[in-house]
């Protein structure tokens, strides 16, 4: 796999996560007491957890270290993105915990958390696409791209655009 293919897989992960965001938004647009709404939201959030965890692990364990090795000046940007990964995980897990109660949170705190999560995730993806992926495309070596490919297979098997899904 070459660098455009590896980057396209990472970009496809972003597109999938944005689609998952739209699924949760659709669930939240349902009347609060609609049967199954909380279950649908939980299912969509679990899908987001799965999509994001694998993708972020590829970045954290393979892409970001390779980028820092090739472009040490990227260290500060990577540190910001890593902090955002932690914030995204924390907020997403808080949302799931809030929905684990028998009654969906009526205080509105889930709505605020969802808004924070939604905004942070969209901005985070914009940063990665607009800066990190472009820099990686220019700076990473062929071995780095092979490592990214292996990281995708190891940390996010079966995700959209990966070889294991295409072979199904």
pLDDT digits (tens, 9 = 90+) for 11-52: 999 999 999 898 888 777 766 656 677 787 888 888 889 999
3-state SS, the chain, equals: CCHHHHHHHHHHHHHHHHHHHHHHHHHHCCCCCCCCHHHHHHHHHHHHHHHHHHHHHHHHHHHHHHHHHHCHHHHHHHHHHHHHHHHHHHHHHHHHHHCCCCCCCCCCHHHHHHHHHHHHHHHHHHHHHHHHHHHHHHHCCHHHHHHHHHHHHHHCCCCCCCHHHHCC
pLDDT tens-digit map of 36-92:
777 878 888 888 899 999 999 999 999 999 999 999 999 999 999 999 999 999 999
pLDDT value of residue 110: 73
Question: 20: exposed, middle or buried (C-beta count within 10 Å: 0-12, 13-18, 19+)?
Answer: buried
What percent of the chain is modeled with pLDDT above 90? 56
Is the pLDDT at 115 greater than 80, yes or no? yes
pLDDT value of residue 43: 85
Specify whether domain 3-160 bears CATH 1.20.120.520. Answer: yes
pLDDT value of residue 24: 82
Q: In the predicted model, what is the mean pLDDT of the chain?
A: 84
């Amino acid at each position: 796999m070459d660098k455009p293919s590896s980057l396209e897989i990472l970009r496809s992960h972003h597109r999938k996560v944005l689609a998952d965001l739209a699924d949760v938004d659709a669930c939240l647009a349902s009347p609060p007491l609609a049967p199954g709404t909380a279950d649908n939201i939980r299912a969509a959030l679990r899908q987001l957890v799965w999509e994001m965890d694998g993708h972020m692990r590829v970045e954290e364990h393979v892409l970001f270290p390779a980028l820092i090795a090739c472009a040490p000046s990227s260290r500060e940007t990577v540190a910001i993105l890593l902090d955002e990964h932690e914030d995204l995980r924390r907020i997403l897990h808080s949302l799931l915990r809030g929905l684990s109660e028998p009654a969906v949170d009526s205080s509105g705190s889930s709505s605020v958390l969802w808004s924070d999560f939604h905004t942070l995730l969209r901005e985070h993806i914009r940063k990665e696409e607009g800066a990190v992926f472009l820099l990686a495309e220019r700076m990473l070596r062929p071995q780095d791209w092979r490592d990214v490919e292996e990281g995708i297979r190891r940390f996010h098997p079966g995700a959209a655009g990966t070889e294991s899904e295409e072979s199904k």
